[in-house]
Chains A and B, each alone.
Chain A
C-alpha cells in the first residue's frame, strides 16, 4: 500500500486510481480537484470518507493539519498526536510556535478578522 502524507488545505497529487475512485472523491466526498494543481481537502470535504476511499484504492493517507495562525505544519511534536483523529477534527490547528501555553488566544481570534478582510 502506498503511503502519502497530505496536508489538509494543501494541494497534493495522486496516482491514477480510475474514474470510479475519482468520481467518489470529487463528486461525493467533496475533494477539490484542479487539473493543473491536483487534489485538495478543504472545509467541504468528507475527510473520513475520502481517507476510506483512498485506503480501499491502495493509498494510505496520513493527514497533517496546518497552524491557523501562521500556516506552518501543526502536527510535528504535538502532545495529542496519538489521540487526535485528524480525519474527524476540523482542518486547522496550532503549531509549536503558537502552542496553547503561549497565550495565543488574541492572535487566534485576530486571524479570523484578518482573513475575513483579505
Chain B
C-alpha cells in the first residue's frame, strides 16, 4: 500500500497542524516533572497518534501506548501506568506515556480514572500525552486543568495535493491536475484516503496516465470501489478497493448490505454474508457508543476476512444508490419493528436496556419459546396476550425463526 510506503518518518514530514506539531515538539523538549500533560484533541485521522509516535521516535523515547477505552478503571490504569510513570532509565532516558481516547472514559466503570490521571500528571517522572476525539466531552472538561491543549484538524486541500504530488513523483507516475484535485476533494482532508484513491486509480488502469474525472462522481467512485471489492482476485485487492471507497462507515455497511440483499445469493451464503455485515454494524455501534474510535481500523478487516470469502466469485454487484424493492424493505422494517417492540417490553421487565435485550437476551428468549409453557408465561408477562396485533406479529416471527 502506498499509504504505508509513504508513511512519514519524522514529525516534519507530517502535513497540516504545523503550529500544534511545533508547540508539541517544544513542550516535549522542555518537559520536566510537574509540567502539565499534553492533550491532543481532534477528529479521527488528523494525525494525533502518528505525531506522538514520530515524536517519541525522534527523541529516542520509549513509547508506552495505552488506550483509555481498554484500560478504563483506576486500578487498571494504576497497574499499567504506575511503573511507566515512576521509571527513568539508568542513563536518564525517559518514556513517553501516551493515553489514547481519553474521551472514552465514561460511565460508572470509570469512576476514579479521571482523578487518577490528574494526580498522575503531577507526580509522573515521564511526560504524559493524551488524545481525544471529542473536545466537548465531560471527561475532557474535567482533565483540562491538568493539560496543555493542542487542537488537531484535517490539513487544508492544498497541502494534501502537495503530498499526493510527492507520492506520484516517488512512484514515477503522471496524474492530471483535475484528476489529482478530484482525489483531494473526495478525500476531505484524509491523507491516507487521498493516497488510496490515487493508488486505486493507477491499479484500475495501469499505464494510463491521465484518467481525468474518474473519481469526480461520487457514485461512480463507490460503484468502482465496491465492484472492485466483490470482484477482487484476492484479499489484498479486496482491501485496496475498500480503502479506496470514499464513504463513511455507516454508508459502507448500508451499501454492502443493500448489494448483498439484492444479489440473489443462495440462502446459506446470503446468511453468512449478512452475518459478516451485521458484525461490522455491531462494531460501529460499539465504536459510537463508547467512543472507541480505534475499532474503526477493524471494519475493513471484517469485510475482507469474513464477507469477501463468501461473495468471492459469486457475481455480487454494487446495486447502486436506488432503494431495495419495496417487498424486501417492508419485510426488513416490519421484522425490526416487531423485534424492537418485544425487546422493549422484555427490557422493562428484565431491568435492562432495549439494546442489550435485543442484542443479548432476545435470541435466547426466542429459543426458549419452543417450550409451550415458557412461551405462554412470557406472552402473559409481556402483555402480548392483551395486544392481538403484536401477538400476531410475534407469532409469525417465532414461526419464521423456528423454520429457520
> Which secondary structure dominates chain A's binding surface?
loop
A84 within 8 A of B: yes
B158 within 8 A of A: yes
Interface size on B, residues (CB 8 A): 38
Q: Nearest-CB distance from A6 to chain B (Å)?
A: 16
- Chain B residues near A84 (CB-CB < 8 A): 156-157
Q: Decide if B165 touches A90 in the complex (CB within 8 Å).
A: no
Q: Provided the pairs A78-B158, A80-B158 are in contact, do residues A90 and B181 lie with their beta carbons within 8 angstroms?
A: no
Distance between Cα atoms of A74 and B21 in the complex (Å)? 20
B165: nearest residue on chain A (CB-CB)? A100
A82: nearest residue on chain B (CB-CB)? B185
Q: Decide if A80 touches B154 in the complex (CB within 8 Å).
A: no
- Chain A residues near B159 (CB-CB < 8 A): 68, 93-94, 100, 108
Indicate with 1 or 0, residue by residue over B2-43, a CB within 8 angstroms of chain A CB atoms.
000000000111011111111101100000000000000000
A17 within 8 A of B: no
Binding-face segment, B124-132, B144-152, B196-204, B226-234: B144-152
Which 10 pairs between the two chains have the least Cβ-Cβ distance? A43-B19, A112-B12, A100-B162, A80-B157, A90-B16, A100-B161, A89-B156, A93-B156, A43-B20, A90-B153
A contact set with B: CB distance below 8 Å:
9, 30, 42-47, 65, 68, 74, 78-80, 83-84, 86, 88-94, 99-101, 103-105, 108-113, 115-116
Q: A88-B189, A91-B19, A104-B162 given. 15 additional CB < 8 A pairs?
A: A43-B19, A43-B23, A44-B149, A74-B158, A80-B158, A86-B156, A90-B152, A93-B159, A100-B161, A100-B162, A101-B165, A103-B165, A105-B162, A105-B163, A112-B11
| CB pairs A–B below 8 angstroms (19 shown) | A30-B149, A43-B19, A43-B23, A43-B150, A68-B18, A80-B184, A84-B157, A89-B154, A90-B17, A90-B20, A90-B154, A101-B177, A105-B163, A112-B12, A112-B18, A112-B21, A112-B22, A113-B12, A116-B22
